[in-house]
A and B are shown apart, each in its own frame.
Chain A
Amino acid sequence: MRALVIDDSRAMRRIVTGILTDLGYEVRDAGHGGEGLEVLNEGWAPDLATIDWNMPVMDGLQFVSAVRSNPAWRRMTMMMVTSESEHTQIVRALAAGAHEYMIKPFTADAFRDKLALLGLLPQEVAL
């Protein structure tokens, strides 16, 4: 399985990438939504994108909207991973097309539980 990790913090990208790699994912990362779109435009098709909200250049919500407007990327599951925890923000993200929402701070176990809910744990891990 493949995942695209989008966060302007290199530290957070390393943390999320570490969790996903341990679960068997092949991971690429991007520093903002625009870079994330570049990866997708290369034809690299992830099963999952984890997306920070507050980023320079192109924020997470703009990325989600851009992905949703392209039918070619419809199969990709999008999970916001962000410190934005107000209910209205969560509703906005889900309305824009995100599938799931993970609030920072989180533990590796909580992250794994979210992936299990989404049916995105690699089979050998889920067993």
Chain B
Amino acid sequence: MSTIDTGARRRTTDPRPVITDLIDGDTILSIAGDAWISLVGEDEVLVPLPGPLPGDILSSWVDVVGPWTGSVVLTTARATAEELSRALLRESAPEVLDDEDVADAFGEIANVVGGSVKAALPGPSALSLPQVGNAPLVRNPGDVCRVDVVWRGEPLTISVQGALPPLPVPSPTRENEVSL
């Protein structure tokens, strides 16, 4: 009796790709830079510099579900998120921004950056609606690509992070042992 090799056995044992196999920091920086020019303003630049985030921070993110599953997360000070929202809304920004205005604008930036990151990853993948609040936890520190930037002197991070915990390290089997 012959057996058809569907590849299923190989696929279930293959390690999942981690994000650093698929995209690098320079690509994320370039994607974010394009989004900033389009949404925030032509003269708005992101400078790749690490800077400590303050205590009062806000995150916006979208989830990507596909061959790689995780989130594209923007995090910055709440005040910087408000300034970013005001820059995005330009003259149509209300005098006082409420939480909904900030969630909408900051979320849309995550949506645009996340869409471009998704396009750089193997597909097909699905993109969620943007969310704003406390960033999803990092489940696997080995599946994170993070870029630290400064916008108008304020620190901001863009983290592309896997949603799945690390795979267990395979234990050696008798099959793999080599007799000396």
Residues of A within 8 A of B (CB): 8-12, 14-15, 18, 54-56, 82-86, 88, 103-107
Interface of B: prevailing SS: helix
Task: Contact check, B104 vs A83: say whether CB atoms are below 8 A apart.
Answer: no
Q: Knowing A86-B123, A88-B123, say if A105 contacts B89 (CB, 8 Å).
A: no
Please, how many residues of chain B have a CB less than 8 angstroms from a CB on the other chain? 29
Known contacts being A56-B129, A105-B35, is A11 close to B104, with CB within 8 Å? yes
**Most chain B beta carbons < 10 A, residue from A54, A55, A88, A105:** A105
With A83-B111, A83-B114, A104-B112 as contacts: A10 and B38 at CB distance below 8 Å: no
Bound Cα distance from A9 to B115, whole angstroms = 15
Could you list 6 examples of A-B contacts with CB < 8 Å?
A14-B92, A54-B128, A56-B129, A85-B119, A86-B119, A104-B35
A12 to B101, CA, bound (A): 12
**Shortest beta-carbon distance from A111 to chain B in Å:** 10
Chain A residues lying within 8 Å of B104, measured Cβ to Cβ, are 9-11
| A9 to B37 CA separation, bound complex (whole angstroms) | 18
Which single residue of chain A is at the shortest CB-CB distance from B130?
A9
Query: Given B90, B101, B118, B127, which contacts A10 in the complex, CB threshold below 8 Å?
Result: B101
Given known pairs A18-B90, A86-B125, the reply for A105 and B116 (CB within 8 Å) is: yes
Q: List chain B positions with a Cβ less than 8 A from chain A.
A: 34-35, 37-39, 42, 85, 88-90, 92, 101, 104-105, 107-108, 111-112, 114-116, 118-119, 123-125, 127-129
Report which of B38, B107, B114, B129 forms a contact with A106, defined as CB distance below 8 A: B38
Task: Name the CB-closest residue of B to A55.
Answer: B129
B92 neighbours in A (Cβ, 8 Å):
14, 18
- Residues of A within 8 Å of B101, CB to CB, are 10
Are B129 and A54 in contact, CB atoms less than 8 angstroms apart?
Answer: yes
A83 touches B107 (CB 8 A): no
Measured in the bound complex, the distance between the Cα atoms of B130 and A54 in whole Å is 10
Q: How far is the CB of B94 from chain A (nearest CB, A)?
A: 11
Closest to A7 in B: B108
Q: Is the CB of B37 within 8 A of A15?
A: no
Question: Which B residue sits closest to A83, measured CB to CB?
Answer: B115
Instruction: Give 19 A-B pairs besides A84-B115, A85-B116, A105-B34 with Cβ atoms closer than 8 angstroms.
Output: A8-B129, A9-B105, A10-B101, A10-B104, A10-B105, A11-B108, A14-B90, A54-B127, A54-B129, A83-B116, A83-B127, A85-B118, A88-B123, A104-B112, A105-B35, A105-B38, A105-B112, A107-B38, A107-B42
